[in-house]
Structure 1
Amino acid sequence: MHSLPYWRLSGFYFFYFAFVGAMSPYWGLYLKSLQFNAWQIGVLMSLLQVMRIFAPNIWGWLSDHTGRRAAIVQVAAAGSLICFAGVFWGHSFVWLFVVMASMSFFWSASLPLVEATTLSSLGEHIHRYGRIRLWGSVGFIVTVLGLGYWLNFRPASDLPWVVLALMLGIALLARWIPDVKSTRPALAHVAIWQVVRQPEVMALLAACFLMAVAHGPYYAFYSIYLVEHGYNKSMVGWLWALGVICEIAVFLWLPRWIPNVSMVRVLLATFAIAVLRFLMIAWGVEHLIWIVIAQTLHAATFGAYHLAAVALIHRYFHGRNQARGQGIYNGMTYGAGGTVGGLYAGAIWDGWGANWVFAIAAGCTLLAFVLVLWQRKPMEATAD
């Protein structure tokens, strides 16, 4: 493990999720400052996820067939930076749609490839993944807190400049991402769709899709939801940061238990906790204590969930399917799921009300729990 490129990978995660820390909590507020309505905001925010439906699979296929994973990460990072610069040239809905769609096409390529690189670097020590990934959470916290205070006194028009600087950091760090070959024992190559067609894999991907649907409204509208209920932007920043601080604790603590605990059981627990969390957000927003508790549960609904899901996907997709497997996972979940979540939230936000948006999110995670419970035995057999 002495050859692990720890700081190169950690640095990339830091800037990548610092970008997320600017976009997820605050980009909706920026779009609202441009006088867009809830549906338009939902559409524009969903573009970050739409491109993750198919773009990661394109980039993953290219990576697996060329073996130039690091070079593709560099191209994708540079492309997303160039495309994002277009936000300074116009503010119409159509123009921002084009800018965010093109930027997201490149941006969505990086994470699955870097995830595959990290897991390949770790080899049989996958339980150490959290120690690298936690730096992404640190980047998120630094950005979400800093911008929360900044935007209390400065206009939302400052936000694109901050995002541009973070994307420059991603592009620079991408130049140091190494090319790493899989260290897992050689296995007979299996066509990737034969893996996907397995009932337990389909159930796993469907459950993860539903988890992403549930989080779609959270990432697109949660800050707007809190501000509309009287929370100032610095408090919004602290609430986002609280969730990610708890997430870091999971990244530090859970890996110690990974060799001795079933990832399937962890996944089931996170879905059950997510039901509770989204119901608390839906009906407890008027009470700070309930929102604080709900944010601490982010430790489970993202931190523990992400570790368990990535570990299970890594076990099913190996060898030449590694990068494409991560691409399918990202496309099906954060791509398709995040898109559906953001769009349904934008469509019913004004008519049904925010409470029902988050109540539907709770229903999605309940269904995810049922799907994994249904295929629990074959999943655990593979994980073992």
Structure 2
Amino acid sequence: MTPANWLSLFFGLYFFSFGTFLPYWALWLQGAGASAGFIGLLLGLGMAVRCLGNLGVMSCIRTATHLVPAIRGLALASLLVFTAFYGWQSSVALLVLTLLANLIYSSLIPAGEAMACRYIVQVQLDYGRARLWGSVAFIGANLVVGMLNDHFGSQWILHGMVLSLALLSLLSFAPISPAPQEPATGRRAASLLQVLKRPGVGRFLLVTSLLQGSHAFYYGFSALHWQQQGYNSSIIGYLWGLGVLAEILVFMFYKRWLGHWSASGLLMAGMICALCRWLLLGATTDPFWLVLAQVLHAGSFGFTHLGAVRFISGELAGEAAFGAQALYAAVSSGLAPGLLLMLSGLLYPSLGGHTYWLMAAAVLPVAWLLTGPLNKEQAQS
């Protein structure tokens, strides 16, 4: 199987599960008897635990040959953990399994992204074309699982997770040609501490933490909030799907539209879209404005993620790429959203949808942080 086909299937299967988990897991937890406050705690702790899982797993991946075995082990372990939710649903069990799930399952994506970054250099992979299948699958999960939840109950949320992880486990055994290889230098991956010392990495992590972290309330509570405003699961699925459809267009035409943009330019565009989006969602649940806000997902997430990929695969290509991918996944996509999600869980009972305005405030410092290039040393050279 070619790298492009394998990664397209990987992103498709992973993001079908993630398109089930992200918008609907709070509804499954509610169906299992968890209160809103406990759900916020579970989701927040889970996202924070991703930091440990991502750092632990990615720090063990020191060469490209480690990537496929790591993905295989993580997929099988994730399948076992989510299967355990069928028979173990006490408060303690939900806490333990949620922590385990986030520790293991969330590490699949930085490993897959690290493989994609390797193939960008190795075979000139069109990242946007491979990654867009993940977005397509995410929309499919939003729509299909939303309808199944409406008609047959929240247990279908768990069924969707288990089925997609079972297929992902099977894919992990499919051979790839050519296999991921190290660059010609043959140098092993730099340690996390060495990567952190690279010019621009600290500021890159702070910028992406604020931008990705600002999605915390949307990821954790948008389904509950919109449901309380009278929208059913199917409509919520359509709204989530619309956001990801806009994201797909950005990934599909990335090289044509944005290929000449710098990492800083993409991240700044992501900040502007995020600020507008959270201000809108905090102000109204009118259908017209919800649609507009969801279209802005193309920027708030799409531009931000592409800016991160541009920085990691371009300005940090080589022995620093694996460590940078681990730090981006752990800090920007794990720790920062986790902390903001726990804060959101505390504020939501009193602030309701106005919690989105807290997310808007979180992205404001990015404008100042991006007044200069991320990597000043490289810019001067």
* TM-score computed with the length of structure 1 as normaliser: 0.91
Q: Following superposition of structure 1 onto structure 2, how do residues 349-364 of structure 1 map, counting pairs within 5 Å?
A: 349-355=348-354, 357-364=355-362
Partner of 2:280: 280
* Distance (Å, rounded) in 2 between the aligned partners of 1:373 and 1:124: 33
Q: Following superposition of structure 1 onto structure 2, how do residues 67-106 of structure 1 map, counting pairs within 5 Å?
A: 67-106=65-104
Partner of 1:332: 331
Q: Following superposition of structure 1 onto structure 2, how do residues 131-280 of structure 1 map, counting pairs within 5 Å?
A: 131-176=129-174, 178=176, 179-183=179-183, 192-198=192-198, 200-280=200-280
* Distance (Å, rounded) in 2 between the aligned partners of 1:110 and 1:295: 26
2:352 aligned partner, one-letter code: G
Secondary structure, aligned partner of 1:274: helix
Identify if the C-alpha distance between structure 1 residues 227 and 260 changes in structure 2 by more than 3 Å, giving closer, same or farther. Answer: same
Q: Is 2:26 the partner of 1:28?
A: yes
Q: Following superposition of structure 1 onto structure 2, how do residues 44-63 of structure 1 map, counting pairs within 5 Å?
A: 44-63=42-61
2:282 aligned partner, one-letter code: A
Q: Provide the alpha-carbon RMSD of the alignment.
A: 2.4
Checking the alignment, whether the CA contact within 8 Å between 1:203 and 1:371 is kept in structure 2 is: yes
Checking the alignment, whether the CA contact within 8 Å between 2:40 and 2:341 is kept in structure 1 is: yes
Shift, 1:191, TM fit? 5.4
Shift, 1:6, TM fit? 1.6
Partner of 2:379: 381
Shift, 1:376, TM fit? 4.8
Identify if the C-alpha distance between structure 1 residues 284 and 82 changes in structure 2 by more than 3 Å, giving closer, same or farther. Answer: same
Secondary structure, aligned partner of 1:68: helix
Partner of 2:304: 305
Identify if the C-alpha distance between structure 1 residues 250 and 379 changes in structure 2 by more than 3 Å, giving closer, same or farther. Answer: farther
* Distance (Å, rounded) in 2 between the aligned partners of 1:299 and 1:128: 18
Identify if the C-alpha distance between structure 1 residues 132 and 232 changes in structure 2 by more than 3 Å, giving closer, same or farther. Answer: same
- Which range moves more in the overlay, 362-371 or 290-299? 362-371
1:328 aligned partner, one-letter code: L
- In the alignment, structure 2 segments of 5+ residues that lack a partner are none
Shift, 1:264, TM fit? 1.2
Identify if the C-alpha distance between structure 1 residues 75 and 318 changes in structure 2 by more than 3 Å, giving closer, same or farther. Answer: same
* Distance (Å, rounded) in 2 between the aligned partners of 1:82 and 1:359: 38
* Distance (Å, rounded) in 1 between the aligned partners of 2:103 and 2:147: 31
Secondary structure, aligned partner of 1:225: helix
Secondary structure, aligned partner of 1:22: helix
Identify if the C-alpha distance between structure 1 residues 180 and 190 changes in structure 2 by more than 3 Å, giving closer, same or farther. Answer: closer
Partner of 1:369: 367
Checking the alignment, whether the CA contact within 8 Å between 1:121 and 1:182 is kept in structure 2 is: no
* Distance (Å, rounded) in 2 between the aligned partners of 1:293 and 1:349: 23
- Which range moves more in the overlay, 317-326 or 246-255? 317-326
2:249 aligned partner, one-letter code: A
Checking the alignment, whether the CA contact within 8 Å between 2:12 and 2:138 is kept in structure 1 is: yes
Checking the alignment, whether the CA contact within 8 Å between 1:207 and 1:369 is kept in structure 2 is: no
* Distance (Å, rounded) in 1 between the aligned partners of 2:114 and 2:184: 12
Checking the alignment, whether the CA contact within 8 Å between 1:264 and 1:380 is kept in structure 2 is: no
Checking the alignment, whether the CA contact within 8 Å between 2:269 and 2:303 is kept in structure 1 is: no
* Distance (Å, rounded) in 1 between the aligned partners of 2:188 and 2:7: 29
Matched residues, number: 379
* Distance (Å, rounded) in 2 between the aligned partners of 1:351 and 1:184: 57
Identify if the C-alpha distance between structure 1 residues 102 and 217 changes in structure 2 by more than 3 Å, giving closer, same or farther. Answer: same
* Distance (Å, rounded) in 2 between the aligned partners of 1:67 and 1:153: 45
Secondary structure, aligned partner of 2:10: helix
* Distance (Å, rounded) in 1 between the aligned partners of 2:261 and 2:156: 45
Checking the alignment, whether the CA contact within 8 Å between 2:195 and 2:323 is kept in structure 1 is: no
Deviation readout 1:259-301 (Å, 9 max, x if unpaired)? 422231121011011101001010121x110000000000111
Identify if the C-alpha distance between structure 1 residues 135 and 142 changes in structure 2 by more than 3 Å, giving closer, same or farther. Answer: same
Identify if the C-alpha distance between structure 1 residues 199 and 377 changes in structure 2 by more than 3 Å, giving closer, same or farther. Answer: closer
* Distance (Å, rounded) in 1 between the aligned partners of 2:280 and 2:329: 27
Identify if the C-alpha distance between structure 1 residues 136 and 100 changes in structure 2 by more than 3 Å, giving closer, same or farther. Answer: same
Checking the alignment, whether the CA contact within 8 Å between 1:282 and 1:358 is kept in structure 2 is: yes
Checking the alignment, whether the CA contact within 8 Å between 2:11 and 2:131 is kept in structure 1 is: yes
Shift, 1:368, TM fit? 2.2
Shift, 1:380, TM fit? 7.1
* Distance (Å, rounded) in 2 between the aligned partners of 1:222 and 1:117: 31
Identify if the C-alpha distance between structure 1 residues 79 and 224 changes in structure 2 by more than 3 Å, giving closer, same or farther. Answer: same
1:45 aligned partner, one-letter code: L
- In the alignment, structure 1 segments of 5+ residues that lack a partner are none
Checking the alignment, whether the CA contact within 8 Å between 2:146 and 2:233 is kept in structure 1 is: yes
Secondary structure, aligned partner of 1:76: helix
